[in-house]
Amino acid sequence: MQIENTKAQLRKGVLELCILSILAKERKYASEIISHLKDAKLIIVEGTLYPLLTRLRSAGYLAYEWEESKNGPPRKYYSITAEGKDFLAELSGSWNELKDAVEQLTNPKN
Amino acid sequence: MNTTINVNLAGQHYYFDQAAKVKLEIYFEEIKSYFTDESFLQELMTDVEARIAELLNDIRLDSNQVITIQHIENVIQIMGEPNSFKIDEEKTQSESETKAIRKLFRDPDDRFLGGVASGVSHYFGLQVSWVRLIWLLLGLFSWGGFSILYIALWIFVPVAKTTSEKFMMKGEPINLSNLEKKIKEEFEEVADQIKNADYQKAKRKLKSKTARFFNAFAAVLVSFANLFLKFLGIIMVIAASLSLLVIFTFMFGIGLHEIFDIYLGNPFWPEIDIMHAEVSVWQTVFVGLIIVAVPVIYVF
């Protein structure tokens, strides 16, 4: 078992939650989402993001619209849907539970 | 001298050199191999293409700069190896291993005319020479009727362009080890071409002036032969259409004569058995036209 692989798996698990949180405030196009995730050191390569975006979109949690760009290809702006917001609330709930559980197990206070 | 290829990514134009194009194609094919859902894949690849176009715009100095393999490697470093696109490790792996779809494609790598016969042979798992023989026999016995079916297949059956399509054509499962094998073959082909080019360059340098003269002479001969073939083709087409016209007119004339025969009772017009002879000439010429026309069209 490779440590890098396990780390990547851990990150992948929370990526969808993070993508939805980034989009909860305002609509963004793929490269902006990427730079947020890169700043937070959540992804190392961009390839990880695209299938997740497509999956969230086909599940109805995200919507997108195309916009022309002056220098470069047209940009695809992603925004969160009402269903996506419900899903995000649910994911955040279970993330908090998980965080507490992991905290409790890895740092026992007594 | 290097060949550059026009590549369109997300509506943007790029000049790629050959190796860069192959590298990017392989990258796309490998990503595609992880997914089975067609509409999902299409959406995903649109995003990936747009992003790669954006990255290439950042990397290149101006819009005329040729994209080389180095640029593509930089892009892949940012995007990640194809396996970073995987979502669910086990699921996609097992799915891609069992995926073996067989579709009818024309084979561009093994073709006599349009690659229809080789495509059909892949589809039914037959030897291509048998399929060609059957086509030929059917074509002869149906008086050219099957040539029309052949042409229809040629028009409507798509040619297998991508690696995945070639796998589908042969009914082989699309998985990573298969893809790798195929990609290596394609790479070696390109490398061989490059090697050949070098070899030919070296060979040319060694050749004396006399040899060069003979080469030029041969080239002139070849181009004359080509010209002659085309000329011959044009003459054949003209001759065939003219004879068709003549025969149509002739038949029309005979038909009229027959009508006259019935209504006016003219005893001088030819008898029915000559009519029969004309009809069979018409058939022969029609079949002949198809047999002549198909290769002639191919020559052009």
This model of the complex carries an ipTM of 0.82
Contact yes or no for A53/A43 (Cβ under 8 A): no
What are B94-111's pLDDT values in tens digits?
444 445 677 888 888 877
What are B174-233's pLDDT values in tens digits?
666 666 677 767 767 766 766 666 665 555 555 455 556 666 777 787 788 888 888 887
Beta bridge partners of A63: A79
What are B127-180's pLDDT values in tens digits?
888 888 888 888 777 777 777 787 788 888 888 877 777 777 877 766 666 666
CB-based contacts of A80, cutoff 8 Å, min separation 6: A20, A23, A24, A61, A62, A63, A88
- 0.95 exceeded by pTM: no
Residues of A in contact with B54 (CB under 8 A): 31, 72-73
Percent of chain A as helix, strand, coil, to the nearest 5:
65, 15, 25
Residues of A in contact with B38 (CB under 8 A): none
Nearest to B85 among A50, A58, A76 (CB): A50
Report the greatest alpha carbon distance in chain A: 60
CB contact under 8 A, A73 and B47: no
Q: Please give the interface size between A and B, counted as residue pairs whose CB atoms are below 8 Å apart.
A: 71
Residues of B in contact with A30 (CB under 8 A): 47, 50-51
CB-based contacts of B105, cutoff 8 Å, min separation 6: B119, B122, B157, B158, B159, B160, B165, B166, B168, B169
Determine the residue among A38, A54, A62 to mutate to test chain B binding: the one whose Cβ has the most chain B Cβ atoms within 10 Å.
A54
Angle at B34 between CA B33 and CA B40, to 5 degrees: 100
Beta bridge partners of B17: B4
Residues of B in contact with A55 (CB under 8 A): 40, 87
Distance CA A58, CA A73 (A): 23
Determine the residue among A10, A31, A45 to mutate to test chain B binding: the one whose Cβ has the most chain B Cβ atoms within 10 Å.
A45
